[in-house]
Amino acid sequence: MPPKRAQWDEKDLEKALEACESGTSQRLVAEQFKIPRRTLRNHIQSKQKFKKLGRHPMLTSEQEADFCSRIIRYSEVGMPLTAPTIKSYVFEYCVANNIPNLFNDAKGAAGRKWLAGFLKRNPSISLRKAQSMNPGRAAKLNKHIVQDYFSKLKAVMEQYDLFNKPQDIFNMDEKGCRLTLHHQQQVMAKKGAKRVHMVAAEHAENATLVVCANAAGNVIPPMVIFKGKRMKPEFADHLPPNSLVCMSDKGSMTTELFVQWVDHFSKFKPCNKVLLIFDGASSHLHPQIVDAAVAHDIVLFCLPSNTTHELQPLDKSVFKSFEHYWDIEVMKFWRTHPDRIITKSRFGSLCTPAFYKAVSMSNISNGFRATGIYPYDSSAIPDVAFAPSSLTFQEQDEPSSPSNINTGAEACSSAFSMDHQREQSLLLNTNNSVSVEACSSAFSMDHQREQSLLLNTNNSVSVEACSSTDFASSTSLCAFDSEVGTPASNMDQHSPNLSFTELMKTPKIKKKQSFRKKSLNYKAQVFNKRLFKNASKGSTKYISKTTGRKKKNNNVIKSASWFCAVCESEAQLSMRQCSKCQVWYHEECVGLDSDDDDMFTCMDCD
């Protein structure tokens, strides 16, 4: 076996270089620190103090850093790249910039050895398993919706003085529990075996577990909903004490069962008024539920639709743990029951151990903290969580840049950031003067910008503004000195004409305009009877046969100011004025529309 190379470290190299600078003989220094004389001489000439073995990679460190930033950006917006795609991008990049390479021209991709070396040189990139996200969730979780949610949550907590009362802030959610494994398990088998199977039901029956806990980490007894019509006493065996067991046709929540759960919840909540945060499932949106909540001093606060994966505490920290512990209990059950059949009667013996482990006090309190509910923190949701929504935001115009800027250089730069994303790409020519076309746009909530600067032969700069939707997080390939008008000293004289930023622009998705009336839970809402006034009347929507649009009601009063006393915003929507206090409200905030001709009276004046 050949001896290992370079058994010295970088600290030895630094000491050796210092000794050589002090006048010590290179031969003596090489013998003292066990560094080959030729290696020591090369480091003295290059003045590099780090150890690097093997031949140089095909891409420079700056180019690989730019590539890494694009890979990270694609993963942030919900379009992560696979290993074959990454190898194809590298091949296209080398071909476009005439970079010598040893890649496979027939496959049009880099090799697996290059990918292994790339991942080793860039530990910030790793292979991960992606979790699927519904396009509705990707588009809906944006800063506008989340900021509106936190402002309304803050108003409710101020109204009922809940900032220092975690025991009065509850979150309720439902978890569909399959009567089999939730995830594929890693098992032991013969190395190289082609057939490794696990005998288990592929399509098992579902039961619904209704969990509720407060910000102090306390949980109330759960409610379990089984599929069927006939209730048997043994279905409640081995469940946590005081659990509520119900039946439904599909094994899921209904409005009638939710009313029963509110009554069940009232037996274990504090005697004073409490806040209940829940999602806007269709079974939760009914005036009967509001009546039951009011009777038990419960304030209902509904989360915005398609945002619960980031805003709901139980989704954030409890249910994933429950799936893990449930699978452990299922594997234990199968070891002692060869038939491997999980019935409703056996459900409690598996559910209870997993339930108690998942709803630990630390798990629950961490969920409320991560979602910014308690302690209240409107900045708890990181900016990276909003990245997938950026693909569907509509473009906005921004004032163009000044048209004359004097420079005298060749430059290429691309800079990206997560807070105020900005993308700049400069294409080079060969003369000493510059002509620039700049692309700038305000992209949704973050005002992302993309600027493209094209260089030619004059000493003045011409700027044209255009819109773009691409923003990313990247490292610049080269710097541009705008004050002196010359390239920065660290600029590579052989910079490629096509950067990874230009090759891998962030995709944009055109958002379809919908003229449907928004649902009650489109934004966060405090639920009350006023929101269901139209539903209780059974009013219908009048549609024009010629245009297909809803007819306007001439009796609707328009406000001179667009400020709404409920949402405290100035959105330009149809408004109503209270007939008693003369305060203006958005129609959608009080559950009205243009078809309702009744005299409006606000909640404070009822």
Residues 165 and 308 in one domain: yes
Respond yes or no on whether the N-terminal peptide bond of residue 375 is cis (omega within 30° of 0): yes
**H helical segments located in 185-318:** 255-266, 287-295, 308-311, 313-317
Residues 14 and 154 in one domain: no
Count Cβ atoms within 10 A of the Cβ of residue 54 and give its class: 0-12 exposed, 13-18 middle, 19 or more buried: exposed
Nearest 5°: the CA angle 453, 473, 58 is 80
Q: Report the domain count for the chain.
A: 3
Gap between the Cα atoms of 560 and 602, Å rounded: 19
CATH code at position 5 = 1.10.10
Residues 177 and 29 in one domain: no
Give a yes or no: residue 95 inside a domain. no
DSSP state of 577: E
Residues 178 and 295 in one domain: yes
Residues 50 and 147 in one domain: no
Locate 248 and state its tokens: 């439904």
Residues 239 and 350 in one domain: yes
Residues 34 and 155 in one domain: no
Give a yes or no: residue 534 inside a domain. yes
Q: By three-state DSSP, how is residue 144 classified?
A: helix
Give a yes or no: residue 401 inside a domain. no
pLDDT exceeds 90 at position 461: no
Q: Are 596 and 534 in contact (CB under 8 A)?
A: yes
Q: Are 252 and 208 in contact (CB under 8 A)?
A: yes
CATH code at position 565 = 3.30.40.10
Residue span of the structural domain in which 589 resides = 529-606
Using CA atoms, how far residue 572 sits from 147, 520, 575, 587, in Å, is: 18, 18, 9, 11
Give a yes or no: residue 491 inside a domain. no
Average pLDDT for residues 284-310, to the nearest whole number? 93
Give a yes or no: residue 508 inside a domain. no
Give a yes or no: residue 92 inside a domain. no
Gap between the Cα atoms of 42 and 55, Å rounded: 15
* 172-190: pLDDT as tens digits: 999 999 999 888 888 899 9
Residues 226 and 343 in one domain: yes
* 303-335: pLDDT as tens digits: 999 999 999 999 999 999 999 999 999 999 999
Residues 155 and 280 in one domain: yes
Residue 574's pLDDT band (cuts 50, 70, 90): confident
Give a yes or no: residue 187 inside a domain. no
pLDDT exceeds 70 at position 171: yes
Give me the half-sphere count of Cα atoms (radius 13 Å) on the Cβ side of residue 406.
1
Q: By three-state DSSP, how is residue 207 classified?
A: strand
Q: By three-state DSSP, how is residue 394 classified?
A: coil
Residues 223 and 343 in one domain: yes
Residues 41 and 160 in one domain: no
All residues at 6 or more sequence positions from 309 whose CB lies less than 8 Å from its CB, including other chains: 133, 137, 141, 315, 316
Q: Quickly tell me which residue has 């590298």 as its tokens.
A: 90
* 60-107: pLDDT as tens digits: 889 999 999 999 999 999 999 999 999 999 999 999 999 998 898 999
Average pLDDT for residues 239-253, to the nearest whole number? 94
Cβ atoms within 10 Å, residue 370? 16
Gap between the Cα atoms of 541 and 553, Å rounded: 11
For helices 10-21 and 26-33, angle between their N-to-C axes, nearest 10 degrees: 160
Locate 288 and state its tokens: 């009967």
* 529-560: pLDDT as tens digits: 777 764 444 433 333 333 334 334 433 343 44
pLDDT exceeds 70 at position 452: no
CATH code at position 158 = 3.30.420.10
Locate 466 and state its tokens: 């255009």
Using CA atoms, how far residue 515 sits from 100, 480, 512, 542, in Å, is: 54, 47, 10, 14
Give a yes or no: residue 362 inside a domain. yes
Q: Are 405 and 154 in contact (CB under 8 A)?
A: no
pLDDT exceeds 70 at position 594: no
* Among candidate residues 333, 353, 384, the one where a domain is terminated: 384
Question: What's the pLDDT score for residue 578?
Answer: 80
3-state helix, strand, coil in the chain (%, to 5): 35, 10, 55
Q: Are 62 and 492 in contact (CB under 8 A)?
A: yes
Gap between the Cα atoms of 101 and 118, Å rounded: 14
Q: By three-state DSSP, how is residue 505 classified?
A: coil
Q: By three-state DSSP, how is residue 454 classified?
A: strand
Q: Are 134 and 238 in contact (CB under 8 A)?
A: no
Three-class secondary structure assignment of 264-301: HHHCCCCCCCEEEEECCCHHHCCHHHHHHHHHCCEEEE
* Among candidate residues 353, 384, 415, the one where a domain is terminated: 384
H or E stretch covering 556: none
* 510-534: pLDDT as tens digits: 766 555 667 778 889 898 877 776 4
* Among candidate residues 365, 384, 403, the one where a domain is terminated: 384
Dihedral in degrees, nearest 10, Cα atoms 513, 516, 518, 519: -130
Residue 406's pLDDT band (cuts 50, 70, 90): very low
